[in-house]
Amino acid sequence: MLKGKTAIVTGSTSGIGLGIARALAQSGANVMLNGFGDAREIEALRADLARESGAEVGYHGADMQRPDEIADLVDAAARRWGSVDILVNNAGIQHVAPLETFPEDRWNAVIAVNLSAAFHSTQKALPLMRERGWGRIINIASAHGLVASVHKAAYVAAKHGIVGLTKVTALETAQSGITCNAICPGWVLTPLVQKQIDVLAAQEGLSPLLAKQRLLSEKQPSGEFTTPEEIGGLAVFLCSAAANQIRGASLSIDGGWTAQ
3-state secondary structure of 240: coil
What pLDDT is recorded for position 30? 98
Which residues are tagged catalytic?
Answer: 155
DSSP 110-146: HHIIIIIHHHHHHHHHHHHHHHHT-EEEEEE--GGGT
φ, ψ for residue 246, nearest 5 deg = -90, 105
Separation of alpha carbons 173 and 18, rounded Å? 27
> Which residue spans of the chain are classified as CATH 3.40.50.720?
6-186+227-252
Burial degree of 79 (CB within 10 A; 0-12, 13-18, 19+): exposed
What pLDDT is recorded for position 191? 77
DSSP 75-94: HHHHHHHS---EEEE-----
> What is the pLDDT tens value at each position of the chain, 260 positions in all?
899 999 999 999 999 999 999 999 999 999 999 999 999 999 999 999 999 999 999 999 999 999 999 999 999 999 999 999 999 999 999 999 999 999 999 999 999 999 999 999 999 999 999 999 999 999 999 999 999 999 999 999 999 999 999 999 999 999 999 999 999 999 998 877 888 889 989 999 999 889 988 889 889 999 999 999 999 999 999 999 999 999 999 999 999 999 99
| CATH number belonging to domain 6-186+227-252 | 3.40.50.720
Are 50 and 103 within 8 A, CB to CB? no
Between 15-26 and 39-53, two packed helices, what is the crossing angle to 10 degrees? Answer: 30
Per DSSP, 150 falls in state T
Burial degree of 236 (CB within 10 A; 0-12, 13-18, 19+): buried
